[in-house]
Structure 1
Amino acid sequence: MAGFGDHSSFSYKRPFRLERNKETSDIYDTRYQQIYGYHTPLNEEYQGPPLVMDDTSEEEPNTYITTAISVASLLTENLLSHPFIVLRRQCQVHNCLKNYHIVPYTLLPVVARLHRRQEVTTLWKGIGSTCIVKGLNLAVEDVLSKVTGWPKEFKQCGSILQYMQHITLKCISIAIITPFYSASLVETVQSDIASDKPALLDVFRDGFMRILEWGSPSRGRMLPIWAIVLPTATFGITKYLAQLILKGITVRVLRFKQRHRHELSDSYNINSKNASNPLIEDINLKANIFSFITMEIIFYPVETIIHRLHIQGTRTIIDNLDTGTSVTPILTGYQGFFDCYNSTIAKEGVGGLYKGFGALVLQLAAHLAIIKLTTLVVSEMTNLLKPANSPTNSDESVLNQQKYLFN
């Protein structure tokens, strides 16, 4: 590459066609435009051919990594996190629990005793009904969207009316699946050694039974379903909107940081609206994970109250997570959301709203660890499979472009 910047070694020949810019009176070489995609004035000093940045090799690994992280995050959130969800829900509904398990390490000996006393699958109970309820929620939203024409996704909204329609659709879908969510919650927290294992489709039977008992349930202290629908729908839609707002703010912050970092680089076009852009997908993924984790932490106390209202009067017997070797029944008599909140604060203190928070910490730590591991594995695989670039060939390509321009 000796003499790369010295153009005296090349004999300059007049180009085939010249054009003059009417506004600036600059003369442009159209052959240079054909090679590099833009004009260069001949009456300006030539600085050499531009550096052509081939970012294909950079975008492909980013695409693979982003896709792998999305899949890993989806599997972790819906399947691999279930044992931690079981632990936290059992702690949340246990109003007489002495050890609040706010920190993770207090749960480890309890989990070890549960596995010794019960089967290995003791923390996977209710996984079938949980997946069914999530699928039912998606199906209800899809049907409502097709029947009413309301937007199912937030990004499909283009006016205030459509935003209101979208929120209404979410509220209706949450209200419809609330009875089935109650049935799934019971299957998730009840002890295997104190009750028969439910069948896969029992969640539908128990859910319809809660709907039939809309007015006055036949079981003693069980709250009517209409008294649970309103706080459940309010909790669900508030958490959803707060997550959307936080995600939007996070996306803007990350885009600003990326724009500031790569403002002089054409290969990182942060203003591109192409949904397949690996950089945009990566930013959206990071924002989604951050907003999910933040909302899980912020709304944990409200979730505790909602779960206690759902489980009340169902005659559920859960594992005693004080010892891990016994069971205990759930006996509460709350009159509603605010009565549950006031009773919990009065009898258990503020910490009562955070019972089982250590299980949430373990869940989020495992979630982040799986994402990190997936990133490392996919990065190593893409580096191994990526063909080696030859510096000599790259230099020769640039030199040939320069010779073609001046010959």
Structure 2
Amino acid sequence: MVNARFRGVELEESEKSDEAKRQNPTSEAEQELLHSMREAYLAENVNIENWQRLAGFGIGVTSLLIEDFLTHPFVVVRRQCMVNSSAVFYHLAPFSVCRIMVQIRRKQGLSTFWKGQGSKLAVRGINVIAEFLISEATSEQLPQEVTHSESATLSKLFGHVLGKSMSIVLTLPFYTASIAETVETEQIQMNRSPFTFVKEGIIRVISWENSSKGHGRLLPLWSLVSPTLLHGILQYIITSCLQQVILMQQRKNTSSENSPEQSMIGSYFPELMASLTSTVLTEVLLYPIETVIYRLHLQGTRTMIDDTDNGYAVVSLCTNYEGFFDCFSCIHEEEGITGFYKGFGALMLQYIVQLLVLRFTRKVYKTISQDFGDVQ
């Protein structure tokens, strides 16, 4: 609204403007044409950016699925090495792991390296569902996610970690069954349905306070809660903190690149790279704890694994640990410090493959961006 005492000035300027338009109608038409072209150009840019975001999201999800599929064989071999207390070869280097994988493939075929992948994905799904239900049941007092846009108070962060802890405990029986399915050899013919691990998880729940299957060495499930919870929470906290630090540094390095394609890459790939780097560092740091936890989970389960020394025979897991600290002490005394890092070469191969997939994904995204006309 124009103030009344300036109304005369406004009318005078309006009259001058109308007079200029009458004297030069071509100029007015040019201005209208340029205005309409600018609006169309901006709308087209917005449309291209939306398609790019959708393409980036789709490529990101696809790359994660491909990574999980391609890296699962290394997870299988790594876990078998970690739980094999009698192994002579520790497979600390990638070349050693490749050699034993070739031997296993010759004996059992290529499909043996993808055993347990379905149960591993199912456990992830159960964990996500458990987190969601806990968050909803507590009216988000124990939130499933805490973002930087929220007022991340100390109580909210504590509630978030507490919700994570509860979901880990609820998933624990199925996590145990999934580990066993991943490392169990296929040389012994067994009819396992896709939901066998669910049945075994329920059995572990029923025998929560006692050893089942008549095995005195099988640890009751409640004794596995503390070490598993410790590993899960440490893994989540360390990975999250490292990811934020690395992500901030990545964004600083890409902030000077102002092209549309570079800005879109800066929206997705720094986060993917930060997630990969933080996960690798956390896995290396917590590798000894993970070794102890796997052995405790499988003790007394009568699980037969492939012999990681020669790749042809099978080995029975015969241990008699009393708990976390006893297992840690026995590994240190009998196998040495490197005993905690059995199968470390498989971990290296796993993340090398993930890095290659990420770089390939980046290249695909650049090609798509060029098709959209962002790169001249």
Q: How high is the TM-score relative to the length of structure 2?
A: 0.80
Match of 1:133 in 2: 123
Is 1:336 equivalent to 2:326 in the alignment? no
In 2, are the aligned partners of 1:64 and 1:378 still within 8 Å (CA)?
Answer: no
TM superposition shift of 1:285: 2.7
* Residue pairs, 1:102-113, within 5 angstroms: 102-113=92-103
Structure 2 letter corresponding to 1:210: R
- Report the secondary structure of 1:81's partner residue: helix
In 1, are the aligned partners of 2:177 and 2:201 still within 8 Å (CA)?
Answer: yes
TM superposition shift of 1:152: 0.4
Match of 1:234 in 2: 230
Is 1:161 equivalent to 2:161 in the alignment? no
TM superposition shift of 1:249: 1.2
**Which of 175, 200, 204 is 2:198 aligned to?**
204
Match of 1:383 in 2: 370
1:137-156 Cα shifts (integer Å, max 9, x gaps): 11111111111122101215
Moved more, 380-389 or 71-80: 380-389
Unaligned 5+ segments in structure 1 are 1-15, 18-31, 37-51, 271-276, 390-407
Count of residues in Structure 1 that have an aligned counterpart in Structure 2: 334
TM superposition shift of 1:345: 0.8
Match of 2:107 in 1: 117
TM superposition shift of 1:74: 1.8
Match of 1:151 in 2: 143
Aligned-partner Cα distance in 2 for 1:283–1:61:
20
TM superposition shift of 1:269: 12
- Report the secondary structure of 1:227's partner residue: helix
In 2, are the aligned partners of 1:183 and 1:203 still within 8 Å (CA)?
Answer: yes
Moved more, 336-345 or 374-383: 374-383
Structure 2 letter corresponding to 1:102: L
Aligned-partner Cα distance in 2 for 1:121–1:180:
23
CA 1:163–1:371 in structure 2 vs 1: closer, same or farther (change >3 Å)?
same
Is 1:181 equivalent to 2:171 in the alignment? no
1:358-399 Cα shifts (integer Å, max 9, x gaps): 11111101111111122223323442453896xxxxxxxxxx
1:317-359 Cα shifts (integer Å, max 9, x gaps): 1000110111010001111111111110111011111100111
Structure with higher helix content? 2
CA 1:387–1:186 in structure 2 vs 1: closer, same or farther (change >3 Å)?
closer
Match of 1:247 in 2: 243
TM superposition shift of 1:85: 0.6
Structure 2 letter corresponding to 1:297: V
Structure 1 letter corresponding to 2:336: G
Structure 2 letter corresponding to 1:322: D
- Report the secondary structure of 2:231's partner residue: helix
1:116-144 Cα shifts (integer Å, max 9, x gaps): 11132111111121111111111111111
Aligned-partner Cα distance in 1 for 2:82–2:69:
20
CA 1:240–1:305 in structure 2 vs 1: closer, same or farther (change >3 Å)?
same
Aligned-partner Cα distance in 1 for 2:273–2:52:
13
**Which of 221, 228, 244 is 1:225 aligned to?**
221
Structure 2 letter corresponding to 1:279: G
Aligned-partner Cα distance in 1 for 2:312–2:265:
50
Is 1:347 equivalent to 2:341 in the alignment? no
In 1, are the aligned partners of 2:173 and 2:202 still within 8 Å (CA)?
Answer: yes
Structure 2 letter corresponding to 1:366: V
Aligned-partner Cα distance in 2 for 1:147–1:388:
49
1:81-122 Cα shifts (integer Å, max 9, x gaps): 211110100000000111100101012222112111113211
- Report the secondary structure of 1:154's partner residue: coil
Structure 2 letter corresponding to 1:194: I
Structure 2 letter corresponding to 1:176: L
Taking only the aligned residue pairs, the percentage that are identical comes to: 33
**Which of 285, 290, 293 is 1:298 aligned to?**
285
- Report the secondary structure of 2:193's partner residue: coil
Unaligned 5+ segments in structure 2 are 1-15, 18-30, 36-41
- Report the secondary structure of 1:331's partner residue: coil
